[in-house]
Chains A and B, each alone.
Chain A
């Protein structure tokens, strides 16, 4: 039995401790906004926040996540500045990687409220988008930074 705190709710999950957190979130807790893309931490589609830090959840076991505050895309709500900027700038195409992109971007803005293009490139480089929404991701992060009332420029 593993105890997980996901989006401020406590879950007792009947699962082996070495199962990747990604699959516990998706299959046991049934929050499917967090996506499976590669399983080896290369694409970032499964990015969640662990105690506020963006992590690929396929590279964290359920056991390791115990005692940490886990936030998924569902926990971010629907009107986070990053989400609003994503809508305003029409970032998503197929949309599959976007939960991970948004989780990564929101973690970036928490640490770096005024990211430069280089900051964005560095922080977001582990999040692949096969549709190629990269130019809009850059633009939307700048817009989200502005909307958060914290300035931000390229």
Chain B
């Protein structure tokens, strides 16, 4: 893969000297257009970009427009620039981008991080930024030496003279380079010429994350700052009828009690005083329409909805007719609970609202929306709102909220108090706080032919919409179908001639949100467990059964085959363990996993080993890819084995890590990651490792026990119930 990009002269808005002398590179790129489209559409609307700053001291500062939440973008995005710039990696520094259209996500039209898109959406943009800067540095050196630029090449932070001996550093060339004309055409490297990409560069953020220096939103302190906690309705959609703050105000350190749109805030000198003030508040709530919400009742409703045809999300052939010809009919239904993201750093935001400005410090995945929300609340023009992106203590989607509620709270309180405010959520606030992975119910019916292979399959999905009513509705909702509810099902690669996927949008109410791997977190489970059920019904090996249905999907086959081979399919390596397999494509990447599992006498699943194979196309940082696969397996196992958010009388039944357990070190299986190398377009890595793990474990559980677990989580209690049902 290579890109030849014509960059029109007028696309460059500026290439001038920055204060202090240095090369500031800024140029226009059209938003959301591919390189090819861009070349053809130079007269279209352009937006400014600025990603590179080279100082006299040779420091190359990369301005990163995506949020660092553990997935490694503060290293991998600079690697894209460094590759084309021929920079010295030791001289690379990073700076989080301010909010500006120049830093918009190339596909979203706003600044943000999510959907495992950072590398994919930034690749061309940052590679070009690096290439343009390199050419200007080479031109500067050529001019200094009075040589032909063709013979002056950049290498490891220097431009080397045609004699191969003399050289000038990027810092020495910076001022002169700023005066050079920007190139009109940029030819990006072929993968075979990569020096930086595909190597495991050390993460730039690691040292500060081992000595306490890395600053997260919760660590920000500004002069005069007060700390607030917010009492939010115990039932989603509830409202404040009234409150008595007599006792709260008597708590030493409490400064004020402020009602905001989402509840009642207690503002104090310090966190503990605010928390104690909140405990002393007496609030009269109107619980609203969800006062009676009960998870068991909701499951019955979802089941009833699934009995009727829904909106068609995908269709091939004639499911009904094909079922009539089937030799065998198989049915199954799966249920998934709401899930909290539970990022390690509880949500927080610092806001300082002043008459003519607003400054925000926050670990967020949606800078532009948050900035705009602050502008709306304060009445200030957006450019008067400054938002500083800090490190994020995990994201998983929880910090990508279209309604900007955790920023909005801080801005409202700061505006009312006329003081800088830090709002801190407790862990209980987080677990109770909504914006969950939606609960889903999905029913499947398949007909098998005489050879045991599926001839027809129908899937019905009942799930709340994540995007309805958000700025993402236009892009992700079509004909009443939320793409995030049916992804991974409607686009199943299994070749089944007569195929139908239907969708029922479950009633809104509980706030729902994208949770690492989004719809795939449930659809992959249904898809991969059901195919296992079909293989079993056909009395065939589940691995080879999948192979037959993926004959025309070489990348799926490749990860599946390698996982089977490296995982020793058919021969568990751990004594007494059983194997399960799953394969799934999401976010442009393919992942297959083989899990080795046993079940103890207390009905607890123990996952001993996971072999994980990923094909994410062209590689940036292999060690980060490996780390993300390990991470995804842990995240997926927490959900597979432990986690659920349930409701009774409208209230969430879980509260903290004692009853919303995240996987612990003792439970950590041995993980082996294999990366398939190829020159396919880059895929995502943050999320694609999550979807296969739960079905791989459930399929292994079946191999061990002959019992299908069709609901998550697979807790000892759920297993005990499944055993007694037999």
Residues of A within 8 A of B (CB): 15-16, 19-20, 23, 26-28, 30-40, 42-43, 45, 72-74, 76-78, 83, 86-87, 90-99, 102, 120-122, 124-138
Bound-state CA distance A73–B209 (Å) is: 10
A134-B668 contact, Cβ under 8 Å, with A93-B70, A95-B209 = yes
- Contact between A86 and B392, CB atoms less than 8 A apart: no
- Contact between B634 and A32, CB atoms less than 8 A apart: no
- Interface set, chain B 637-682, CB cutoff 8 A to A: 638, 656-658, 662-666, 668, 670-671
Bound-state CA distance A54–B508 (Å) is: 46
Min C-beta distance of A130 to chain B, whole Å: 5
A40-B630 contact, Cβ under 8 Å, with A32-B212, A94-B345, A94-B393 = no
- Contact between A96 and B270, CB atoms less than 8 A apart: no
- Contact between B202 and A36, CB atoms less than 8 A apart: no
Tell me, yes or no, whether B702 is within 8 Å of chain A by CB. no
Residues of B within 8 A of A (CB): 68-72, 202-203, 205-216, 218-219, 221, 227, 252, 270-272, 342-346, 391-396, 424, 426-427, 623, 627, 630-635, 638, 656-658, 662-666, 668, 670-671
Closest to A84 in B: B210
A130-B206 contact, Cβ under 8 Å, with A40-B427, A93-B627 = no
- Contact partners of A122 in chain B: CB under 8 A: 666
Min C-beta distance of A74 to chain B, whole Å: 5
User: What 5 pairs between A and B have smallest CB-CB spacing?
Assistant: A33-B212, A132-B634, A95-B209, A96-B393, A93-B70
- Contact partners of A128 in chain B: CB under 8 A: 344, 657, 662, 664
Bound-state CA distance A136–B634 (Å) is: 12
Min C-beta distance of A58 to chain B, whole Å: 10
Partner of A32, one of B69, B215, B270, B631: B215
- Contact between B210 and A93, CB atoms less than 8 A apart: no
Bound-state CA distance A133–B628 (Å) is: 9
Min C-beta distance of A55 to chain B, whole Å: 17
A35-B630 contact, Cβ under 8 Å, with A90-B206, A135-B671 = no
Q: What is the count of residue pairs linking A and B with beta-carbon distances less than 8 angstroms?
A: 178
- Contact partners of A120 in chain B: CB under 8 A: 665
A132-B631 contact, Cβ under 8 Å, with A92-B205, A120-B665 = yes
- Contact partners of A16 in chain B: CB under 8 A: 252, 272
- Contact partners of A134 in chain B: CB under 8 A: 630, 634, 663, 665, 668
Bound-state CA distance A36–B271 (Å) is: 11
- Contact partners of A130 in chain B: CB under 8 A: 342-344, 394, 396, 635, 638, 662
- Contact between B209 and A27, CB atoms less than 8 A apart: no
Q: Assuming A83-B211, A94-B395, what are 14 further A-B pairs, CB within 8 angstroms?
A: A20-B272, A32-B215, A32-B218, A35-B216, A37-B344, A38-B427, A39-B656, A40-B427, A43-B657, A45-B344, A86-B206, A87-B207, A94-B394, A95-B214
- Contact partners of A28 in chain B: CB under 8 A: 270
Closest to A100 in B: B344
Min C-beta distance of B641 to chain A, whole Å: 13
Min C-beta distance of A32 to chain B, whole Å: 4
Bound-state CA distance A132–B612 (Å) is: 15
Most central of B68, B69, B344, B657 by chain A CB within 10 Å: B344
- Contact between B219 and A32, CB atoms less than 8 A apart: yes
Bound-state CA distance A124–B666 (Å) is: 8
Most central of A28, A37, A77, A95 by chain B CB within 10 Å: A95
Bound-state CA distance A131–B206 (Å) is: 14
Closest to B673 in A: A135
Bound-state CA distance A26–B427 (Å) is: 17
Partner of B656, one of A42, A96, A127, A129: A42
- Contact between B210 and A102, CB atoms less than 8 A apart: yes
- Contact partners of B215 in chain A: CB under 8 A: 32
A131-B657 contact, Cβ under 8 Å, with A78-B211, A102-B210 = no
A40-B210 contact, Cβ under 8 Å, with A94-B69, A94-B392, A127-B665 = no
- Contact between A94 and B344, CB atoms less than 8 A apart: yes
Bound-state CA distance A72–B393 (Å) is: 19
- Contact partners of B665 in chain A: CB under 8 A: 120-121, 124-125, 127, 129, 134, 137-138
Most central of B630, B663, B664, B666 by chain A CB within 10 Å: B664
- Contact between B210 and A72, CB atoms less than 8 A apart: no
- Contact between B631 and A131, CB atoms less than 8 A apart: yes
Bound-state CA distance A122–B345 (Å) is: 24
- Contact partners of A137 in chain B: CB under 8 A: 665
Bound-state CA distance A33–B211 (Å) is: 7
- Contact between A37 and B346, CB atoms less than 8 A apart: yes
- Contact partners of B205 in chain A: CB under 8 A: 92, 95
Bound-state CA distance A99–B657 (Å) is: 19
Min C-beta distance of A142 to chain B, whole Å: 13
Bound-state CA distance A77–B212 (Å) is: 10
Closest to B220 in A: A32
Min C-beta distance of A60 to chain B, whole Å: 13
Bound-state CA distance A129–B70 (Å) is: 11
Bound-state CA distance A36–B393 (Å) is: 11
- Contact between A90 and B630, CB atoms less than 8 A apart: no
Min C-beta distance of B447 to chain A, whole Å: 40
- Contact partners of B671 in chain A: CB under 8 A: 135
- Contact partners of A40 in chain B: CB under 8 A: 427, 656-658
Min C-beta distance of A39 to chain B, whole Å: 6
Bound-state CA distance A136–B631 (Å) is: 10
Please list 23 pairs of residues, one from A and one from B, whose beta carbons are closer than 8 Å in the complex, sorted by A's number. Answer: A15-B270, A20-B272, A32-B219, A90-B206, A90-B627, A91-B206, A93-B70, A94-B69, A94-B395, A95-B70, A95-B209, A95-B214, A97-B344, A121-B666, A125-B665, A128-B662, A130-B344, A131-B634, A131-B635, A132-B630, A132-B632, A133-B630, A134-B663
- Contact between A74 and B212, CB atoms less than 8 A apart: yes
- Contact partners of A87 in chain B: CB under 8 A: 202, 206-207, 210
- Contact between B657 and A135, CB atoms less than 8 A apart: no
- Contact partners of A27 in chain B: CB under 8 A: 227, 270-271
Most central of A34, A77, A133, A134 by chain B CB within 10 Å: A134
Min C-beta distance of A46 to chain B, whole Å: 11
Most central of A35, A37, A38, A83 by chain B CB within 10 Å: A38
Bound-state CA distance A45–B633 (Å) is: 21
Most central of B72, B210, B271, B393 by chain A CB within 10 Å: B210
Bound-state CA distance A91–B394 (Å) is: 15
Bound-state CA distance A23–B206 (Å) is: 25
Closest to A122 in B: B666
- Contact partners of A31 in chain B: CB under 8 A: 212
Bound-state CA distance A114–B597 (Å) is: 29
- Contact between B426 and A39, CB atoms less than 8 A apart: yes
Min C-beta distance of A117 to chain B, whole Å: 10
Partner of A92, one of B210, B221, B346, B630: B210
Most central of A28, A99, A120, A135 by chain B CB within 10 Å: A135
- Contact partners of A127 in chain B: CB under 8 A: 665
Min C-beta distance of A98 to chain B, whole Å: 5
Most central of B426, B635, B665 by chain A CB within 10 Å: B665
Closest to A28 in B: B270
- Contact partners of B663 in chain A: CB under 8 A: 132, 134
- Contact partners of B638 in chain A: CB under 8 A: 130
Min C-beta distance of A42 to chain B, whole Å: 4
Bound-state CA distance A11–B213 (Å) is: 21
